């Protein structure tokens, strides 16, 4: 029964940590935008506060080493989640660039018209046109 609660607690912690990242958008000199994720500053501050309290109470807290291990694990897990999200965003951007280049280089006018119609239907026609122009000019 105790193991069940430990596993549930770990799963809940991982779920909460996965939501504690913030996207950071950077405008590059060539006009493109890079996306990276970082650990939410609120989580970082909370972990620092918990670590400080743990350090101060270490003399009277028999669980201080376990708390320290837990805080370190949460910090490492949050950094890993942020890196994984950044890698996924970069992979998706590269995939989009590849698809657009493939369509521009090999598709006929019917395919391009269908893509443009779909972009118009969902409201991203302007962004699609800008992105295609950037890719064709070598900016992206």
Q: Give yes or no for residue 83 having a pLDDT over 90.
A: yes
Partner residues linked to 38 by β-bridges = 22
Token pair, residue 134, equals 């950037």
13 contacts: CB under 8 Å, gap ≥ 6: 74, 77
138 contacts: CB under 8 Å, gap ≥ 6: none
Q: Rounded to 5 degrees, what are φ and ψ at 36?
A: -135, 155
* Residue tagged 């805080």 (tokens): 71
Q: How confident is the model at residue 87 (pLDDT cuts 50, 70, 90)?
A: very high
Q: Is the dihedral of CA 28, 137, 132, 127 positive or negative?
A: positive
Task: Give the pLDDT score at 139.
Answer: 66
28 contacts: CB under 8 Å, gap ≥ 6: 34
Which of 11-25, 41-55, 71-85 is least confident? 11-25
**pLDDT by residue (tens digit) across 88-131?**
988 888 888 888 888 878 777 888 888 888 888 888 888 888 88
Query: How many whole angstroms separate alpha carbon 34 and alpha carbon 89?
Result: 9
Task: Give the pLDDT score at 107.
Answer: 73
Query: Domain residue spans in the chain?
Result: 1-18+38-83
């Amino acid at each position: 029964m105790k193991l069940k609660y430990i596993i549930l607690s770990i799963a809940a912690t991982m779920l909460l940590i996965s939501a504690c990242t913030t996207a950071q958008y950077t405008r590059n000199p060539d006009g493109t935008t890079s996306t990276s994720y970082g650990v939410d500053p609120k989580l970082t501050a909370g972990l620092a506060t918990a670590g400080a309290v743990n350090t101060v109470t270490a003399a009277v807290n028999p669980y201080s080493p376990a708390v320290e291990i837990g805080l370190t694990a949460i910090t490492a897990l949050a950094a890993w989640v942020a890196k994984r999200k950044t890698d996924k965003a970069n992979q998706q951007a590269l995939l989009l660039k590849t698809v657009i280049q493939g369509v521009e280089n090999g598709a006929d006018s019917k395919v391009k018209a269908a893509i443009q119609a779909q972009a118009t239907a969902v409201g991203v026609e302007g962004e699609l046109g800008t992105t295609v122009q950037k890719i064709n000019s070598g900016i992206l």
